[in-house]
Amino acid sequence: DTAVSQTPKYLVTQMGNDKSIKCEQNLGHDTMYWYKQDSKKFLKIMFSYNNKELIINETVPNRFSPKSPDKAHLNLHINSLELGDSAVYFCASRQTSGGGEQYFGPGTRLTVT
């Protein structure tokens, strides 16, 4: 059973479009994260939700909006996509009362043309 899953795995779209990436975890964790891995392979935090509440919001354009309908889901909606948004986006989850390790999904490769 997949612990952290993301859909879709690949997403190719044109500039200006709006798209969403979905993330679900079945680990019972209370905190979820979105990371972006850019072309230089750096993994950088974007957002974090704890029990559906936004707790981390790094310097990310307003075009990116996370939404957490419940503890097990954290979706990422991106408006007006730009070429520079092309990257791999990883979802992760963690139990705050547990160890510090986070468990990652398989990633969504977004290509904006």
Partner 1 sequence: DQQVKQNSPSLSVQEGRISILNCDYTNSMFDYFLWYKKYPAEGPTFLISISSIKDKNEDGRFTVFLNKSAKHLSLHIVPSQPGDSAVYFCAASASGGTSYGKLTFGQGTILTVHP
Cα separation, 84 vs 87, in Å, equals 8
Which residue among 19, 73, 106, 111 contacts partner 1 (CB under 8 A)? Answer: 106
DSSP three-state, residue 85: helix
Interaction with partner 1 in 3-22: which residues (CB under 8 A)?
4
For partner 1, the binding residue among 25, 31, 68, 75 (CB under 8 A) is: 31
Q: How far is the CB of 110 from partner 1 (least distance, A)?
A: 14
What gap in Å lies between CA 110 and CA 84, rounded to an integer?
10
* Site residue total, partner 1 (CB under 8 A): 27
In angstroms, the Cα distances linking 109 to 8, 39, 74, 75, 80 are 8, 11, 17, 15, 17
Instruction: Return the H-helix or E-strand segment holding 8.
Output: none
Q: Which of the residues 33 through 52 are near partner 1 (CB under 8 A)?
A: 33, 35, 40-45, 48, 50
The nearer residue to partner 1, 9 or 79, going by C-beta atoms, is 9
- Which of positions 59-88 make contact with partner 1 (CB under 8 A)? none
CA dihedral 20, 100, 29, 56 (to 10 degrees): -40
Which residues of this protein are in contact with partner 1, per CB under 8 A? 4, 31, 33, 35, 40-45, 48, 50, 55-56, 90, 92, 94, 96, 99-107
